[in-house]
Amino acid sequence: MIAGGTLLLALPQIPLTLGNAIIATRLENNEIFPERKVSERKLSITTGIMNLFSSLFGGVPLCHGAGGMAGHIRFGARTGGALIILGSLILIIALFFSDSASLIFQIFPEAILGVILLFAGAELTLTAKDIGPAKSDFYVMLITVGFALWNMLAAFLAGILLYQILKRGWIKI
């Protein structure tokens, strides 16, 4: 049971977390807020701390996530104050309205969530213009995206493998 969960759930999560929660978040943050740069190390440490404390309270795994950041930015958030407001609202709902929270989620139209996700995705695609000057960088991205539609772990491995093959000159594009 543990081995199956590790193979099916934990291992595929590693490249997703590294790509979305660490690398993409650093790139996005440092492009949007060049005066407040963060490093992969800092994001990794804070993600680890969040998950250590979250697990003590029975929480689910957490990350910073470029998609969430893109969504917040797209809808007007420019400072940490927006996250404090959001966190406060969620805390108030959890503490005082937990019995009716499921009703709140049922009332919330899924179409609105779809629009939010659409704009967050569109915001993230705007950074794709900076993937690299070489034509090979575009092909690495394209192959990685193609594999990601099927399996995130396979996409991660295929992207790294193709990048290394092109970098070493084993294939010319």
For 83, the token pair is: 């996250």
- What are the φ/ψ torsions at residue 87 (nearest 5 degrees)? -60, -40
Nearest residue to 22 (alpha-carbon basis) of 50, 46, 53 = 46
In this structure, the dihedral spanned by the alpha carbons of residues 93, 94, 95 and 101, taken in order and rounded to 10 degrees, is 60
Q: C-alpha distances in angstroms, 82 versus 6, 27, 118, 156?
A: 35, 20, 20, 32
pLDDT digits (tens, 9 = 90+) for 15-69: 778 888 888 889 888 888 899 899 999 999 998 898 888 888 888 777 777 777 8
Band (pLDDT 50/70/90 cuts) for residue 137 is confident
Tell me the average pLDDT across 128-154.
80
- What sign for the dihedral angle of Cα 147, 125, 173, 26? negative
Whether residue 88 has pLDDT greater than 90 = yes
The per-residue pLDDT for 6 is: 67
pLDDT digits (tens, 9 = 90+) for 20-34: 888 888 988 888 889
On whether the CB atoms of residues 16 and 152 are closer than 8 A, the answer is yes
Q: Comparing 125 with 46, which gets the higher pLDDT?
A: 46
Whether residue 77 has pLDDT greater than 90 = no
d(CA 66, CA 4): 29
For 117, the token pair is: 């996700």
Lowest mean pLDDT among 2-11, 85-94, 155-164: 2-11
Tell me the average pLDDT across 105-111.
81
Tell me the average pLDDT across 143-167.
87
The per-residue pLDDT for 161 is: 93
pTM over 0.75: no
